[in-house]
Structure 1
Amino acid sequence: MGHRLYVLFLRLPVMGRILFLAITLIIVFGIMIHLIEPKSFPSIFDGIWWAIITSSTVGYGDFYPATHAGRIVAVALILIGAGVLSAYFVSLAAATVTNQNAYLEGKIAFKGRRHMIIVGWNERSREVINQATHLDEESSIILIDETLSENPYTDKRVHFIKGKPYMDETLLKANIQHAKFALITADQSKNEGEADMYSILTLLAIKGIQQNVYCVIEILKGEQIPNARRAGADEVIQTNKQTSYVMINSLLEKGMSATVLSMLNQLKGGNLTFIPVPSEMIGKTFQSVNSQLLKERKLLIGIKVGEETKLNPPLTLSLNGTEQLLVICD
């Protein structure tokens, strides 16, 4: 029995063992002083109280030994107990610092739910995090990256996980099982083919653990879009094509790039979004629906049917309720 207790004691963490020793010493010396000087320490509780105060070097003076035997016990308690308690508080401080450093270095697992996971640290992910933290003050964001040495954000809502995003160990630390969204950005330090390969590999790893996470993936080469779809991407962003569209529009219409960015910037009032067709507007024409939405300060610019988006469709087009309306609103 004694051996088993000893083994269990050794299995405790260092802080647990020191705390156990400190509590044991306080109880033992409290009982001893009560037995040696029952007049000065009428109860065991008074003895334990004195042992706590003495070992912590506070020394209130409400209880004190009057005999030589009692004072010898007090000296022993000061020499032994104070050392044990000091070791405990030093270990506690060291553990706190170690834990804080581990958190900053991305070694601590995330335990929350309904969070957003962003893979890769770059200017695009930085801007996404900046906008997300301003638009949603409650949700947590998990940043996964293997190149950062520590969390680039002081905001407690941004939790950093250091590691390869396509490894199960890293994704489980990010609590992918309970994530709501995942955004996979392309690593532009690699060539386009390698970047897309790693992005799709990360997508496969995420979907392999949690199929229901809504995954948005950034793809650089158009030929890899079918592979991203097969891997389970819910949405594919082809960065190069989008950038080229903005560039050609800027060449044809000067200042168009700033206008497009302004329209998409959520923090500056831009709100380009899809809304369902209101039930009372089913069967009406695009023109009449647009007129009604304008009264609600919503500008209708197109519709989405399945995967196809039609901008500025014919005004006489009748809406049957299966479409999504592309609007700009406050």
Structure 2
Amino acid sequence: MALRGVEVDREWVGARASMVLTFAVAVLSVATGIANISSTPSGPLVQYVPELVQQTVGFTGALTGFLMLGSALGLRSGLRAAWTSTVVLLPVTAAQGLLQASVYSFPLVVLSTVSLPVVLLNRGRFTRDLDLTTTQLAAVVSLVGAQLYGTAGTYALREEFNNVQSLTDAYWYTIVTGSTVGYGDITPATDRAALFAISVLLVNVAAFAVALGVLLTPAIEARLSKALGKMTESQLDLLDDHILVLGYGELTEPILEELDERAEFLIVTLESERARLLSDRGYSVLTGDPSDEDVLRRAKISRARAVVVATNEDAQDALAILTARQLNPEVRIVAAATHRENVNKMRRAGADTVISPATIGGHLLVDSALGSEDSEAIANRLAGEDPDRR
């Protein structure tokens, strides 16, 4: 029971908990910001906060929530930058909740406060660097540069625009022009301003197009990887306390059905077509040789709870067991031997437990033939046909 308690605690405070809590804070922050967008701040800190901050906090909650959604997606990819942004944003969401101080904001304060130590505790789980490609860097620079160009230029030419009096007005005009919304509340009053407006439109549309393409490309690649039965490196990096199923065969199918309801697991198989079919069924699959050291390292065998090896090829299974034992001497390995004479060989290869389905079936059949009334009940329970099975 103590061991089971440890497993539950790890799940509650692990990397997955950090992602779930961050996502929950993000959704709650957006909802709270929308609910309080027209209300007047009345929290305990309002009298100590400048009026400008009070006016701002009413509508920035939703914006912070969307930033938190980005951080949650980054945590899913194991990014250290996402962990840093989450640690920074959680106190911000808590402070916004205090200042908003409505019946909707107090859950946000509590959830943000609870989430922060969990995220801090899992700092070592998010180690991937934000490795931006040249195209991604160009997209970020062009997008930021386009906004700066439009805002600075519009403000510098504010005398030649109708209704531009501040930097906020200039930025507003840049956004509505670049997004092609064009509300018409701000318009150029001279030819020079009109030419500048055209340049702002072209630059911003191009910058948005580049940024959109860069954002969609990784999503398309991830979708293709899933269609081909492959997992991305970011998904593999988040594996923890999982069960590795090495290989796939007739003996593996009932194991997958049992594990699907009880634990997180990853299937490692060399057959790409089989991997694609398993992925279509919603299983996590890594295409590769189950006896290859590099493949098992990518499958995070060092953090696995257990290893299950059960195909119809005892020789390949023994090699997979040997490799798994070398990479993680402490992991529990359970195997199924198709042929009874290979049970001891698999144990010598490193398996902790080896089960021979043929031997078990033979014993049950003999017991039943000799009049045992328990053998059929045992067989039904093993097959999952016992209605009282727990």
Task: State the TM-score, normalized to the length of structure 2.
Answer: 0.57
Distance 1:82 1:266 in 2: 60
2:365 matches 1:241: no
2:146 matches 1:28: no
Over 3 Å counting, the alpha-carbon distance change for 1:153 and 1:255 in structure 2 is farther
Over 3 Å counting, the alpha-carbon distance change for 1:56 and 1:12 in structure 2 is same
Is contact 2:321-2:333 (8 Å) kept?
Answer: yes
Q: Which residue of structure 1 lines up, in the alignment, with residue 278 of structure 2?
A: 152
Match of 1:212 among 324, 330, 338: 330
Cα deviation, 1:38-63, whole Å, max 9, x if unaligned, reads 56433334323322221121223343
Q: Which residue of structure 1 lines up, in the alignment, with residue 209 of structure 2?
A: 86
Per-residue deviation at 1:196? 1.9
Q: Which residue of structure 1 lines up, in the alignment, with residue 294 of structure 2?
A: 169
Over 3 Å counting, the alpha-carbon distance change for 1:254 and 1:101 in structure 2 is farther
Distance 2:385 2:327 in 1: 33
Over 3 Å counting, the alpha-carbon distance change for 1:60 and 1:177 in structure 2 is farther
Q: Which residue of structure 2 lines up, in the alignment, with residue 44 of structure 1?
A: 167
Over 3 Å counting, the alpha-carbon distance change for 1:255 and 1:55 in structure 2 is farther
Match of 2:252 among 110, 125, 148: 125
What residue identity is the alignment partner of 2:284?
A: H
Is contact 1:34-1:43 (8 Å) kept?
Answer: yes
Between the two proteins, the alignment pairs up a number of residues equal to: 252
Counterparts of residues 141-290 of structure 1 (less than 5 Å): 141-147=265-271, 148-150=274-276, 152=278, 158-186=283-311, 188=312, 195-249=313-367, 258-265=376-383, 268-269=386-387
Match of 1:112 among 239, 246, 264: 239
Is contact 2:269-2:287 (8 Å) kept?
Answer: yes
Per-residue deviation at 1:106? 1.6
Over 3 Å counting, the alpha-carbon distance change for 1:98 and 1:264 in structure 2 is same
SS in structure 2 at match of 1:78: helix
- In structure 1, the gaps of 5 or more residues are 1-9, 189-194, 272-329
What residue identity is the alignment partner of 2:178?
A: S
Distance 2:364 2:148 in 1: 75
Cα deviation, 1:56-100, whole Å, max 9, x if unaligned, reads 212233433222112111211222321221232233223212112
Per-residue deviation at 1:223? 3.4
Per-residue deviation at 1:182? 1.0
Distance 1:49 1:169 in 2: 52
Distance 1:169 1:151 in 2: 23
Q: Which residue of structure 1 lines up, in the alignment, with residue 136 of structure 2?
A: 15
Distance 1:87 1:107 in 2: 26
Cα deviation, 1:147-175, whole Å, max 9, x if unaligned, reads 1241525676x311111111122212222
Over 3 Å counting, the alpha-carbon distance change for 1:70 and 1:229 in structure 2 is same
Per-residue deviation at 1:248? 3.8
- In structure 2, the gaps of 5 or more residues are 1-130
Q: Write 1 or 2 for the structure with the bigger share of helix.
A: 2
Per-residue deviation at 1:247? 4.1
Per-residue deviation at 1:243? 3.1
Distance 1:101 1:268 in 2: 41
Per-residue deviation at 1:126? 2.2
Distance 1:257 1:153 in 2: 36
SS in structure 1 at match of 2:308: strand
What residue identity is the alignment partner of 1:73?
A: F
Q: Write 1 or 2 for the structure with the bigger share of strand.
A: 1
Is contact 1:216-1:234 (8 Å) kept?
Answer: yes
Over 3 Å counting, the alpha-carbon distance change for 1:55 and 1:63 in structure 2 is same
Identity of aligned residues (%): 18
Over 3 Å counting, the alpha-carbon distance change for 1:75 and 1:268 in structure 2 is farther
Over 3 Å counting, the alpha-carbon distance change for 1:32 and 1:120 in structure 2 is same
Distance 1:63 1:205 in 2: 68
Distance 2:192 2:139 in 1: 27
Q: Which residue of structure 1 lines up, in the alignment, with residue 181 of structure 2?
A: 58
Moved more, 46-55 or 253-262: 253-262
Per-residue deviation at 1:210? 1.4
Per-residue deviation at 1:235? 0.4
Is contact 1:165-1:202 (8 Å) kept?
Answer: yes
Over 3 Å counting, the alpha-carbon distance change for 1:146 and 1:74 in structure 2 is same
Distance 2:168 2:157 in 1: 14
